[in-house]
Amino acid sequence: MVVRQADEARIYVLSVTTTPKAWRRTSEMAKDCTRIRTALGLHPELAHERHAELPLFEALLPQTRYVGEVGLDGSPDLKPHAQIQRKVFKTVLKLSSRQGGRVLSIHSRRASDEVLECLRAEPDAGTPILHWFSGSQAQLRRAIDQGCWFSVGLPMSRSDRGRALLASLPRDRVLTETDGPFAQEGNRAVKPSDVSGMADALSSVWNVSASEVRNQLATNLRRLTAYALDTSRQVVPRAGAAVA
């Protein structure tokens, strides 16, 4: 139903998965919707349970231009799994690089520095989009310098800290996200159509009209999609590139 509603509202959706095993089924659900793309993911919170699915990730990667969710999570309860998280994320970046680059939706909660380090080590992994970025202003500047994009959702607009981050984003590298169905709005799961409220929030933080924000977001999405579909990058490995 969420798929149909999003399609009818003509919303472009990047739906992310948390495990490689979930990808085939999830992408199957959206196969008739031209505005929905399904990213292949291995979520950092599941890395320690699902790292054995890395070979499946590798096998499926040629079928999609989008990877997510992947990344690192430095929350205290996940500390014991930091090493396996890092191994999974580094492998995902290396594989994406070998495939000529992917659009990557990246989770970086309490791990912004480590995520940026890993990205720096694999500059050909693709276009990284930091989803729900919650680092410091200094980490944000570093992420901007490293070419990161940002996907932002309504909860970020509800705290002073979040609004300060939104104000500092490069406007030509911003997309909106819901983090649904995990995120909640009131007492229901967030739906793709809830992103429209985010355009209003950005309009107030950036001090431009909501229609200007929508135009900017649409332009950004076109640029990102053009990058994703650029098949000239799909010739791999690059001449001279060392593939370990």
Q: Is 112 near Zn ion (CB under 5 A)? A: no
Q: Which stretch binds Zn ion (CB under 5 A): 2-10, 94-102, 107-115, 147-155?
A: 107-115
Closer residue to Zn ion (CB): 41 or 101: 41
| Residues facing 127 on adjacent strands | 103
Q: What is the spatial distance between Cα 179 and Cα 99, in angstroms, rounded to a whole number?
A: 27
Q: For Zn ion, how many residues bind (rule: CB under 5 A)?
A: 1
Residues 47-76 that bind Zn ion (CB under 5 A): none
Using CA atoms, how far apart are residues 205 and 49, in angstroms rounded to an integer? 40
The nearest distance, CB 69 to Zn ion, in angstroms, is: 5
Q: Are the beta carbons of 126 and 103 closer than 8 angstroms?
A: yes
Contact 80, 73 (CB under 8 A): no
Report the DSSP pairing between strands 126-131 and 13-16. unpaired
Q: How far is the CB of 44 from Zn ion (least distance, A)?
A: 8
Could you tell me if 190 and 183 are in contact, meaning their C-beta atoms sit under 8 angstroms apart?
A: yes
CB of 194 to Zn ion, least distance (A): 17
Q: How far is the CB of 231 from Zn ion (least distance, A)?
A: 29
Minimum CB distance to Zn ion smaller for 81 or for 107:
107
Ordered alpha helix ranges (H), the chain: 2-8, 20-29, 47-50, 54-60, 82-98, 112-121, 137-145, 160-168, 196-206, 210-229
Separation of alpha carbons 217 and 174, rounded Å: 7
Least CB distance to Zn ion at residue 236 (A) = 28
In whole angstroms, give the CA distance from residue 116 to residue 237: 23
Nearer to Zn ion, 98 or 109 (CB): 109
Q: Does 86 bind Zn ion (CB under 5 A)?
A: no
Closest to Zn ion by CB, 99 vs 108, is 108
Q: Which is nearer to Zn ion, 102 or 107 (CB)?
A: 107
Which stretch, 2-10, 29-37, 100-108, 168-176, contacts Zn ion (CB under 5 A)?
100-108
Angle, vertex CA 142, rays to CA 177 and CA 39, nearest 5: 35
CB of 184 to Zn ion, least distance (A): 15
Q: How far is the CB of 131 from Zn ion (least distance, A)?
A: 5
**107 binding Zn ion? (CB under 5 A):** yes
Interface residues with Zn ion (CB under 5 A) are 107
